[in-house]
Structure 1
Amino acid sequence: MDYNHTNGTGGWFTNTSFQNLTRNDSESEIFFLHRTPFFISSGPVFDEVSHNFMTSVLLPSLVYVSILLLVGIPGNLMVVYVYSLQWPGCASTSRVFILALGCYDLLNCLSSLTTEIVLLSRFLDFDFPVWCKLSRFVTASINSGSTFILVAIATDRFLRICRIHKDPISVDLARNLVIISIFFAAMTSWPALLLYGTFTVTFPLKQFIYIRGKTCLISDSMTETIYPLIFVIFLLSSHFMVDLVLIILYSFVGQAVFRQQKFQKSVKTKSVAGKVPKAENENKVEAWQTSFTADDLEKNPQPLKQSRARTSNRISFVFWKKLSLNSKKAKLNNKLSSPDKELMKELKDSLKTRSSTDSNAPKSKRKIHAGKTTLMLFLVTLLFILSFLPYSIVVILRYTDPEFYTRLTAVGKGVYNVVLRSYFLNSVVNPVVYCFISKQFRKRSKDALRSLLCCERYQ
């Protein structure tokens, strides 16, 4: 999603050293004798102006994009390799979505970031309309496709944690959604092929003397139409609506986890207060604490289907099964005292909110939580939203105040251009999140690097 359409280019080069450019005698004669508009689009003066603009305004953006490229390509290559080859035969919904995001991000790095580096290096001399159209279309498509996948991820987490009585997104459905995201991306981004192209940059150097450059922005034929504004409004409003949907879904997930953590504390408090016989209460708490996470259910959904055949209520099948076993062994239905029955009723009522806990954690550290995969995917979504926020603010300022950019100093313009490309960050940070949160991803990445180094050593 790239909308690098900058108005007010005449203010880009004010308060700079461009007035003291060196010129030969023939150029000086043109400057002082020519009294009709004269445009410079090549030659030493043009090259010097272009170089000074790049070093004084665009250099921070060039460094920023270059760092993202150096981090993003190897990081996303590792994501694609690990989730496609290092986990054979272990397909799950979350892995399908993570692999899709990795492919989108890798393509964004190879296409959008490399194009941006070339554009920043020769901003006033980028007259490649077809390349411009295709790169902007690919950027917009990738961001739209990633947005679609993130909504699917949030919906899947919501179903697994808050609506466990309903069927979650299966692996086959997840693969179909990835295919649908490709068509969705193309359908929402095709206007970029029409709007973008070669834009003529013209600004005064001295009286009657103008610099004329070519760059990749909204094409000259479209700048005076209303279509660029309509496209930007559509994309920004769609982005804000998607952000709202993501916030709502994850707020429900967070509330469910919070309620379950609160209930676990209440069970432990009653145990300490002596309201429930110690042995029986430990069985109940252990049954609660050793239940599966949403991630475990995703890997093995078969017990969920069997549970629905045995239970007609909305209680989580894992907890219900364990409670049934405990009740059969101790004949709880006949021997429970009033406090025990009250606690059992509270437990059953709380189970309706669904919980997911880590069954592989030690008993002393087990807590009710949504699982590391849910946390990891939530952080990916949060960073996606935050990476677009500065860009959205700048675009809104630019369209509500057309002179905003021209009033900035050289430093301010440098910061402005970096912020205008803040959304590129979402294609780079995901591998970093996976590395910090997923122990399995770290282990398999180390194994892959170790294998690669060993292969190079023996060649």
Structure 2
Amino acid sequence: MAEPLSTLSNTPTNRENGSDDDIDEFLNQKNLEFVSSLAPTLTYLTFLMVAGLVGNTLVFVVYYRRFKPSETRVYILAMAVSDFLTNVLAIPLQIVEIRFNATFYVTWGCKAIRSGSTVLVFFTAVILVAVALDRQKVICTGRLGSHQSLSSAYRAVIICAAASIVVACPYAVLAGRHTRTFPDTNITGITCSFDDRHLHSAFSTSYVTILGVMYVVFVAIMVVSYVRIARHLWRHKETTLALARRSRYAAPDASSASSGSGANAGRSGHGNVKEIPARTSLMLFVLTVVFIVNYLPTLIVASLDEGDPKTSMEDLEKNARFILLRTYYTNSAVNPLVYSFISCKFRHECRSLFGCMSRESRASA
């Protein structure tokens, strides 16, 4: 049976330095002091949890009920589910981890928290890569959505989920009990981090390095895809303007023929692009930028301390470190704002949904 979070440490060092009750009281006091010192971090996490819970629920309901089936809809629903799970599972468990910073003896719980968070973060990353490649395919090659492409989107989501689980598996081995000794005492506490057996090992170093390399590769793929999209749209715009100028100065008959042929050329070469809402591509691009910006601080700080935080830090430094290690949680609250600010259709459907709910409530009353 798993030990409760409040169980006393049974290390020889602790037994030599006082009674179990004294040690228990000391460690619990350290837990409370740690929570108090991280009040800004806990406030930040709580805000993200509440805002993300409301926002992602709204995103899922609106896109599921109000938007027609499409590849973009599949990807957005998948990200909404991932962000929702972050809000209801990952962030609350992160708060629990902070609460029992000196007495986190449940090894499987630590492994579950770290592995689960990695699954959700990596899933978002690979979904955004799939979205970037999909946008490039649709806009640059003119392949519009079809039943086959919709099935491909569902398969892509399943593959992304499976890949995320595989990538997170090493954390099930690496995460565990990390011993921390408090200054001026020989009493040790247990926190959730890289297990002492794997701290600074070749395995942990290689894993962190691989995650960093994968992040760079993903960013490169997304940047190249959106650069190609931007170039294609710019060329399409230049072609359209050139045709407009030519038809303006041509003779009436020639103008008529030219515009007809130009229209045909436009339809054959770029007509499909017009059917792709520009704001959708912009929205997905902004989601990608938000992820890149939010995950970068986490990756940098994690690679610097490799799961071995310093035990003596000022409150400001401590809060900065904890927030930077968890900036990826910001995605779960910011993504719904991106939809609402950029997508006019999303805002319209939200108003329509609330309008229907209001009318139904008045009718039932």
Q: TM-score range by the shorter chain?
A: 0.7 to 0.9
Cα deviations by residue, 1:346-402 (Å, 9 ceiling, x for unpaired): xxxxx4x787236xxxxxxxxxx8622111111111111111112222233335xx8
Q: Tell me, in whole angstroms, the C-alpha distance in 2 between the residues paired with 1:443 and 1:222.
A: 52
The aligned runs of 1:434-449 (5 Å cut-off) are 434-449=339-354
Equivalent residues in 2 for 1:20-419, closer than 5 Å? 41-43=23-25, 45-56=26-37, 58-87=38-67, 90-164=68-142, 170-204=149-183, 206=184, 209-223=185-199, 225-271=201-247, 274=249, 276-277=250-251, 281=255, 319-320=267-268, 351=269, 356-357=273-274, 371-398=278-305, 409-419=314-324
The 3 A distance-change label for structure 1 pair 288 and 61 is farther
Are 1:256 and 1:355, in contact at CA under 8 Å, matched by a contact in 2?
Answer: no
Which whole-Å deviations, capped at 9, do the CAs of 1:326-351 have from their partners, x for residues lacking one? Answer: xxxxxxxxxxxxxxxxxxxxxxxxx4
- C-alpha change, 1:127 and 1:163, in structure 2 (3 Å) is same
- 1:231 Cα offset (Å): 1.5
Change (3 A) 1:224 1:240: closer
Q: 1: CA distance between counterparts of 2:283 and 2:261?
A: 26
Q: Show CA shifts across 1:73-116 (max 9, x none).
A: 111111221222333xx311111111111111111211111111
CA RMSD in angstroms comes to 3.2
Deviation at 1:66, TM superposition (A): 0.8
CA separation of 1:269 and 1:74: change in aligned 2, threshold 3 A: same
Change (3 A) 1:354 1:128: farther
Please list every run of 5 or more consecutive structure 1 residues that lacks an aligned counterpart in the other structure.
Answer: 1-35, 292-314, 321-350, 359-368
Give me the whole-angstrom Cα distance separating, in 2, the residues matched to 1:454 and 1:132. 47
Higher alpha-carbon deviation: 46-55 or 238-247 = 46-55
Percentage of matched positions with identical amino acids: 26
Contact 1:72 1:427 in 2 (8 A): yes
Q: Distance in 1 between matches of 2:98 and 2:359?
A: 39
The separation in 2 between residues aligned to 1:220 and 1:170, in whole angstroms, is 47
**2: distance between equivalents of 1:132 and 1:199?**
10
The verdict on how the C-alpha distance between 1:266 and 1:238 changes in structure 2, with shifts beyond 3 A counting, is: same
SS of the equivalent of 1:227 reads helix
For structure 2, the residue ranges without an aligned partner over 5 or more in a row are 1-15
Q: Which amino acid aligns with 2:98?
A: L
- Whether contact under 8 Å (1:50, 1:124) holds in the other structure is yes
Alignment partners' CA distance in 2, 1:167 and 1:450? 30
Residues 394 and 419 of structure 1 are in contact (CA less than 8 Å); yes or no, is this contact kept in structure 2?
yes
Offset from partner CA, 1:42-90 (integer Å, 9 cap, x none): 21x444433233222x222111111110111111111221222333xx3
What is the CA–CA distance in structure 1 between the aligned matches of 2:339 and 2:210, rounded to whole Å? 32
Residues 1:287 and 1:201: Cα distance change in structure 2 (over 3 Å): farther
Aligned to 1:24: none
Tell me which amino acid in the other structure corresponds to 1:136. R
C-alpha contact (below 8 Å) 1:387/1:422 kept by paired residues: yes
Structure 1 counterpart of 2:63, one-letter code: Y
Q: Work out the CA distance in 2 between the residues paired with 1:226 and 1:126.
A: 25
- Which SS does the other structure have where 2:273 is aligned? coil
> How far has the Cα of 1:120 moved from its partner?
2.3
* Letter of the 1:212 counterpart: T
Task: Give the TM-score normalised by the residue count of structure 2.
Answer: 0.83
Q: Distance in 1 between matches of 2:317 and 2:257?
A: 64
Native 8 Å contact 1:163 1:354 kept in 2: no
Are the aligned partners of 2:71 and 2:145 in contact in 1 as well (CA < 8 Å)?
A: no
Q: Would the aligned equivalents of 1:62 and 1:121 in 2 still touch at CA under 8 Å?
A: no
Per the TM alignment, residue 171 of structure 1 is displaced from its structure 2 partner at its CA by 0.3
CA separation in 2, counterparts of 1:234 and 1:424? 21
Per-residue deviation, 1:150: 1.4
Deviation for aligned residue 1:414: 1.6
Whether the aligned pair in 1 keeps the contact of 2:132 and 2:225 (CA below 8 Å) is yes
**CA shift at 1:224, angstroms?**
5.6
| Secondary structure in structure 1 of the residue aligned to 2:188 | strand
Which TM-score applies when normalising by structure 1?
A: 0.67
Q: Larger Cα Rg: Structure 1 or Structure 2?
A: 1
| CA distance in 2 between partners of 1:379 and 1:243 (Å) | 13
Partners of 2:91 and 2:85 lie apart in 1 by 9
Cα distance in 2 between the residues matched to 1:247 and 1:96: 22
Residue number in structure 1 paired with 2:3: none
TM-fit CA distance, 1:243:
0.7
- Cα displacement (A) at 1:166: 9.6
